[in-house]
Chain A
Amino acid sequence: MKISLSWLHDYLKTTQTAEELAETLTRSGIEVKSITTSGATISNVIVAQILSSEQHPNADRLCVCRVDEGSGAPRQIVCGAKNYKVGDKVLLALPGAVLPGGIKIKVGKLRGVESEGMMCSAKELGLGEGAEGLYILDPEAIIGMELSTLFPADTILELEITPNRPDWLGHVGVAREAAAFGAGEFLRSSVMIPSKKREGSLAVVQDSHACSFYSLRFISNVEVKESPSWLQQRLEAIGLRSINTIVDITNYVMMEMGHPLHAFDADKIQGPLTVRFSNEGETLEGLDGKTYLLRTSDLVIADDHGPQALAGIIGGMKSRVTQHTKSLLLESAVFNPSVIRASARAHGLATDASYRFERGSHADNAWEASARGAAMTTEITGGLVSDEVMVAGGVPVPIVVSFRNNRCRDLLGISLGDEEISSLLKKMGLTLCEVGWQIPFWRLDLTREIDLIEEVARLYGLESIEARTLSFFVPSSPIDKTYDCMMLLRRRLIAAGLHEARTSALVSSEGSSSEALKLRNPIGEQQSFLRTGLISGLKEVLKHNLYQGADSIRLFEMGKVFINSSKNEEMVALALMMTGQSTPLSWRGEVSRSLDLFDLKGVLDHLVPGKISYRSSVRALLPIMARMLDVFCDGEYCGYIGLMAPAEARKITVTGQEHPIVVAELQWTPLQQAIERETWKTEKGLSKLPSITRDLAMVMDMQVSYDLLEKELQEAQEPLLKKIIPLDLFTDPYGEKIAAAKKSVTLQLTFQHEDRTLTTQEVTASCERLMARLQELLGVEMRS
């Protein structure tokens, strides 16, 4: 909401500058978004009257005017605008004036004709967009008057008002708050005019819950015309358009007191005005020209012909105030915020009135706003206000809230005395009575003791409250343990040279499976499901980086995935995705190869050292994968590792990028359980006895897998065999060195005795037994 500083000064006597006032408001809880100046600060721009206008002798589009600027000697001005007539009063920039944008006005010749100044448009003077052409002034404008007198400079504060404070939605409320916070003296504007209440008759309320107070004033003999310039200026300064006297007055009162008014053309209303819920099928043509099909939960103001206004939101076209309006019904009411909010939302309408009614209004304020509106109407349009006010519903009794000073001190951690606390509450307009504190009508938000405690805290200021730092001992929670475990795993992944990516949990249908949870109201297809896995997100990241020219990409993501199931709906998962060179480029000229599945296995092996194992997957191959292995952590199924299918990989890679893409997707729980079982205990003392290694080259059928080979060696129960490392794998598709259907594998076996030095004979014998076993079980031949 915008407020004008000059307007605010009507209710606040202060010496604070705009900046100081902004600081005061900020302290009270009103956020000041911006401070801008409006109106004119330019000097040497004055009111002048056009005396004559003739065609420029040398330019078709220009005219030569003579203007009177009050000096007695008419000036000659060359002008390009066409929207004036002789006799109009306009704004003339005299030589020496500097317009916004730095344009300096001086005497000069335009196409050979001297011009002693410049007649200006609204835009040229920084008075808003305005119409094209010269700014034509009111005929009553005084010739020679300075622009700065005509449009006094003003400062506009743009405020952000929290929804609990409807009283701040008008200048009076802001002034009251600023005064309470020490900005100055609050000048109460009381404009009550004598009036008699009359129940029933022309105003009827059918549902007092939806409308607790309704008032109408009959005003006759009004003249609807253009508003006086002071009224126009005030409204325009805060961003409202001036329409006519009556609309402007209702808007003015709203921006002054925060309470919306509505004026009906009394001659267009047939019968009493009834506040009721709409009937099925009723429509209303709003002031905005749109026709609204009303719902039975919409509160309307209706006469004998049907709805004339959507209560608290928008007036009707039929009964609107026009130039021909002679008498008014001025409405001021209190509507239920929920009813207004629901209607405004249903019809997609957000008006200044609905904004205020949604936040709450009070009958006392409505009553006063009505009086203020009537008084202004009389003053400005000469309207005659009927003595009688037609009223339905009533003014509620003031709320009294009980309050304990001790409770206040305890919760705020302060030691203010009772008197000091009371004086703070009194500053906020509260009055002490026997049973507690009486709340002023404008504070709809104060209903509980805690609300009053907040008032004390606000006025006292948090800067005056002593900061306490107490801590106590707390054991770590299971969530702490999970968190620590996740950080540990992240560090292990980083040590393996992977970067952490974080992608959105909201994915497209493409990235989700049949088990995915779908949103009822997604923003778009791209974010319509909750992810069931992390691969689709990482694929996008990989693609982005490839398109940005990255060569080697090593990524992981750790995050929640969501499965449509009654238990374990949300789980943490870990995914890895890598592509590119196996090692970074180096000046040594060593040939780097594409990284492959085995590089990724190497990374996984170090996640939980010694606990990760693999098995050929018995599960159905995922459509995007060419090869998959199941991953086990400490014997428990944990996920898969695989090679992305080339067809799938080609969808994300760029031309020239030919490295395979390797992927792993793991469940969190088995990893965490295995990590929690990790201990610092060492297996045994470190042996000082020498070990003996033997490299054995062997040939076998292509089908004999390495894990089988290793398994048979380990199950041979050779106690001296400590370690098996594959050193070489060789195949020969041309069958020259070994048969094409065979492969050659070289294993390095390490032997060691626990408590004595080994003999060569022992090792040789062991090797022979092992080879014999492999030959017998797998048909493996020793290679010379």
Chain B
Amino acid sequence: MEQQQYDSLAAIQTASDTAALKEVRLHYLGKSGAISCLSERMRTLSKEERPAMGQLLNQWRNTFTEALEAKGKILLDQADAATFASLDATLPGTASWQGGMHPLTLLTDRIVQIFRRLGFTMAEGPDIDDEWHCFDSLNTPLDHPARQEQDTFYLPDGRLLRTHTSTVQIRAMEQAPPPLRIIAPGAAYRRDEIDATHLSQFTQMEVLCVGKGITLGDLKGTAEFFFRELFGTETECRFRPHFFPFTEPSYEIDVRSSTLSHQWLELAGCGMVDPAVFEALNKKRGDRAYDPEEISGFAFGFGLERLVMILTGISDIRMLTENDLRFLKQFAREF
């Protein structure tokens, strides 16, 4: 029996995997296994012989079972380790479809978020508008070149596609009395041949703030805050006097920032709302809600395509309407 016990332990040690170990277990502990058979044979022994034999047998069974368990654990650990050892962890991650917003949308949203922090709400107006909202109310002379068929798209009924989003200023003031703080991103249209720097439809952002005691200082503060939020705190703004029919004084805003090109870039037009615009609105509204003696305001606007071009470094505006996925995919990281 001693020999048998020795053999059984040796068999455990030589088992090379869990299947082999299972066979060893069956060979000794199975119904017709060696240990089971000896237990069976115990009954045939005399009363005197039984305790010693039983003790020996128990000892064997315990030793065997312990060794079996120990070996089983070793084999399982080895198998587990082998599983991971064969894994090539350098293979790339499982791809899933990544989507992304158009850069114009992303930029619009950044701008919207900034102005919302300043207490501006959003407004909108139709793309198809009339001459009154697009030109007359904005103090544009009747024979101003911008009104020409050559520059502006007209519909057969005499209405037009707005040439700037300043129409939304007028619509907002038409609908509600001051105070007013609005931003309006939207499409504008000009009869330009499409080339590397022109589109016939483009996107503008309109900003208007009207109320009692609004000064040129508010315009300056708001514009500077906005551009610093957009391009970084070290951004500089330069206000160059300019001319627009609907604001007075009028300025063009040049912006310089290390996040852009270190060059002065002409980015926006702005000014204090011209009293003539307020008077046009009063006339239309039939009240004095926008009495230029009582209230004042500032407006500014800028094109988004140009900003996107500067930020992305593209030189052809048509990339924004071409929607090449190789271009768009670069913005998937934004969300």
**Chain A contacts to B: CB under 8 angstroms:** 26-29, 31, 162-165, 338, 341-342, 345, 410-414, 448, 450-451, 453-454, 457-458, 462-463, 465-477, 479-480, 483, 487, 490-491, 493-506, 517-523, 527, 530, 541, 544-545, 548, 550, 552-555, 560, 562, 569-570, 583-588
Docked complex Cα distance between A236 and B218 (Å): 46
Using known A-B contacts A164-B243, A505-B187, A570-B126, determine if residue A465 contacts B100 with beta carbons closer than 8 Å. no
Inter-chain contact B200/A342, CB cutoff 8 Å: no
Inter-chain contact A503/B321, CB cutoff 8 Å: yes
Q: Mark B86-110, 1 if CB is under 8 A from A, else 0.
A: 0000011011111111101100010
Q: Give the shortest distance, in Å, between B299 (CB) and chain A (any CB).
A: 14
- Chain B hits for A503, CB < 8 A: 321, 323
Residue of B99, B120, B123, B149 with most partner-chain A CB within 10 A: B99
Q: Give the shortest distance, in Å, between A340 (CB) and chain B (any CB).
A: 10
A-contacting 9-mer, from B10-18, B28-36, B61-69, B151-159: B151-159
Using known A-B contacts A502-B320, A504-B321, A554-B99, determine if residue A570 contacts B243 with beta carbons closer than 8 Å. no
- Chain A hits for B184, CB < 8 A: 479
6 A-B residue pairings within 8 Å (CB atoms): A27-B240, A470-B221, A480-B122, A521-B153, A541-B323, A586-B95
Inter-chain contact A506/B225, CB cutoff 8 Å: no
Inter-chain contact B324/A410, CB cutoff 8 Å: no
Interface of B is mostly: mixed
Inter-chain contact A471/B119, CB cutoff 8 Å: yes
Docked complex Cα distance between A541 and B28 (Å): 74
Inter-chain contact B323/A519, CB cutoff 8 Å: no
- Chain B hits for A412, CB < 8 A: 215-217
Q: Give the shortest distance, in Å, between A535 (CB) and chain B (any CB).
A: 14
Inter-chain contact B119/A570, CB cutoff 8 Å: no
Using known A-B contacts A27-B241, A470-B218, A502-B323, determine if residue A517 contacts B128 with beta carbons closer than 8 Å. yes
Besides A474-B121, A503-B323, 6 other A-B contacts (C-beta < 8 A): A454-B249, A458-B249, A479-B121, A480-B121, A502-B104, A505-B187
Inter-chain contact A499/B100, CB cutoff 8 Å: yes
Q: Decide if B235 is an interface residue (CB 8 Å cutoff).
A: no
Docked complex Cα distance between A473 and B120 (Å): 9
Inter-chain contact B187/A560, CB cutoff 8 Å: yes
Q: Which residue of B lies closest to A341 (CB)?
A: B143
- Chain A hits for B127, CB < 8 A: 505, 530, 560, 562, 570
Using known A-B contacts A495-B99, A503-B323, determine if residue A467 contacts B221 with beta carbons closer than 8 Å. yes
- Chain B hits for A411, CB < 8 A: 215-216, 272, 296
Inter-chain contact B126/A569, CB cutoff 8 Å: yes
Q: Give the shortest distance, in Å, between B184 (CB) and chain A (any CB).
A: 8
Inter-chain contact A584/B96, CB cutoff 8 Å: yes
Q: Decide if B224 is an interface residue (CB 8 Å cutoff).
A: yes
Inter-chain contact A494/B335, CB cutoff 8 Å: yes
Docked complex: B172-189 residues within 8 A CB-CB of A: 179, 181-182, 184, 187, 189
Docked complex Cα distance between A550 and B136 (Å): 48
Q: Give the shortest distance, in Å, between A404 (CB) and chain B (any CB).
A: 10
A-contacting 9-mer, from B42-50, B74-82, B325-333: B325-333
- Chain A hits for B149, CB < 8 A: 520-521
Q: Which residue of B lies closest to A524 (CB)?
A: B193
Q: Decide if B251 is an interface residue (CB 8 Å cutoff).
A: yes
Contact of A494 among B99, B116, B181, B322 (CB under 8 A): B99
Docked complex Cα distance between A453 and B216 (Å): 11
Inter-chain contact A467/B224, CB cutoff 8 Å: yes
- Chain B hits for A414, CB < 8 A: 216-217
Docked complex Cα distance between A223 and B153 (Å): 52
- Chain B hits for A498, CB < 8 A: 97, 99
Residue of A467, A469, A548, A562 with most partner-chain B CB within 10 A: A467
Docked complex Cα distance between A541 and B153 (Å): 25
Q: Give the shortest distance, in Å, between A465 (CB) and chain B (any CB).
A: 5
Q: Mark B234-261, 1 if CB is under 8 A from A, else 0.
A: 0000011111000011111000000000
Q: Which residue of B lies closest to A503 (CB)?
A: B321
Docked complex Cα distance between A462 and B217 (Å): 8
Docked complex Cα distance between A569 and B98 (Å): 35
Docked complex Cα distance between A550 and B184 (Å): 35
User: Which 10 A-B pairs give the minimum distances between C-beta atoms?
Assistant: A497-B97, A413-B215, A413-B217, A29-B241, A162-B243, A494-B99, A467-B221, A584-B95, A454-B249, A501-B323
Docked complex Cα distance between A338 and B109 (Å): 43
Q: Decide if B148 is an interface residue (CB 8 Å cutoff).
A: yes
Q: Give the shortest distance, in Å, between B165 (CB) and chain A (any CB).
A: 13
Using known A-B contacts A483-B112, A587-B91, determine if residue A506 contacts B328 with beta carbons closer than 8 Å. no
Q: Decide if B131 is an interface residue (CB 8 Å cutoff).
A: no
- Chain A hits for B105, CB < 8 A: 490, 500, 502
Q: Which residue of A lies closest to B189 (CB)?
A: A506
Using known A-B contacts A468-B221, A494-B335, A587-B92, determine if residue A500 contacts B97 with beta carbons closer than 8 Å. no
Docked complex Cα distance between A342 and B225 (Å): 43
Docked complex: B200-241 residues within 8 A CB-CB of A: 200-201, 213, 215-218, 220-222, 224-225, 239-241
Q: Which residue of B lies closest to A340 (CB)?
A: B143
Q: Give the shortest distance, in Å, between B317 (CB) and chain A (any CB).
A: 12
Q: Which residue of B lies closest to A580 (CB)?
A: B97
- Chain B hits for A544, CB < 8 A: 322-324
Q: Decide if B124 is an interface residue (CB 8 Å cutoff).
A: yes
Inter-chain contact A553/B216, CB cutoff 8 Å: no
Inter-chain contact A450/B241, CB cutoff 8 Å: no
Inter-chain contact B242/A413, CB cutoff 8 Å: no
Docked complex Cα distance between A175 and B101 (Å): 51
Inter-chain contact B217/A517, CB cutoff 8 Å: no
Docked complex Cα distance between A113 and B240 (Å): 61
Docked complex Cα distance between A27 and B239 (Å): 8
Docked complex: B133-166 residues within 8 A CB-CB of A: 141-143, 145, 148-149, 153-156, 161
Q: Decide if B19 is an interface residue (CB 8 Å cutoff).
A: no
Docked complex Cα distance between A136 and B276 (Å): 59
Docked complex Cα distance between A369 and B330 (Å): 61
Docked complex Cα distance between A513 and B104 (Å): 28
Docked complex Cα distance between A476 and B112 (Å): 12
Inter-chain contact B243/A554, CB cutoff 8 Å: no
Q: Give the shortest distance, in Å, between A148 (CB) and chain B (any CB).
A: 33
Inter-chain contact A523/B154, CB cutoff 8 Å: no
Inter-chain contact A479/B225, CB cutoff 8 Å: no
Contact of A450 among B118, B121, B243, B275 (CB under 8 A): B275
Docked complex Cα distance between A520 and B154 (Å): 5
Docked complex Cα distance between A475 and B182 (Å): 11
Residue of B91, B122, B184, B189 with most partner-chain A CB within 10 A: B122
- Chain B hits for A450, CB < 8 A: 248, 274-275
- Chain A hits for B57, CB < 8 A: none
Inter-chain contact A496/B97, CB cutoff 8 Å: yes
- Chain B hits for A550, CB < 8 A: 325-326
Inter-chain contact A496/B121, CB cutoff 8 Å: no
Using known A-B contacts A520-B154, A545-B324, determine if residue A413 contacts B218 with beta carbons closer than 8 Å. yes
Docked complex Cα distance between A527 and B153 (Å): 11
Q: Decide if B199 is an interface residue (CB 8 Å cutoff).
A: yes
Inter-chain contact A491/B191, CB cutoff 8 Å: no
Q: Which residue of B lies closest to A339 (CB)?
A: B143
Contact of B191 among A458, A467, A521 (CB under 8 A): A521
Contact of B216 among A29, A413, A497, A501 (CB under 8 A): A413
Inter-chain contact A499/B148, CB cutoff 8 Å: no
Docked complex Cα distance between A493 and B320 (Å): 20
Q: Which residue of B lies closest to A463 (CB)?
A: B239
Inter-chain contact A523/B99, CB cutoff 8 Å: no
Q: Give the shortest distance, in Å, between A485 (CB) and chain B (any CB).
A: 12
Inter-chain contact B325/A499, CB cutoff 8 Å: yes
Docked complex Cα distance between A530 and B153 (Å): 11
Docked complex Cα distance between A583 and B248 (Å): 58
Q: Give the shortest distance, in Å, between A298 (CB) and chain B (any CB).
A: 15
Q: Mark B291-331, 1 if CB is under 8 A from A, else 0.
A: 00000100000000000000000000000111111101100
Using known A-B contacts A479-B122, A505-B127, A521-B191, determine if residue A497 contacts B241 with beta carbons closer than 8 Å. no
Docked complex Cα distance between A468 and B215 (Å): 9
Q: Give the shortest distance, in Å, between A565 (CB) and chain B (any CB).
A: 12
- Chain A hits for B123, CB < 8 A: 477, 479
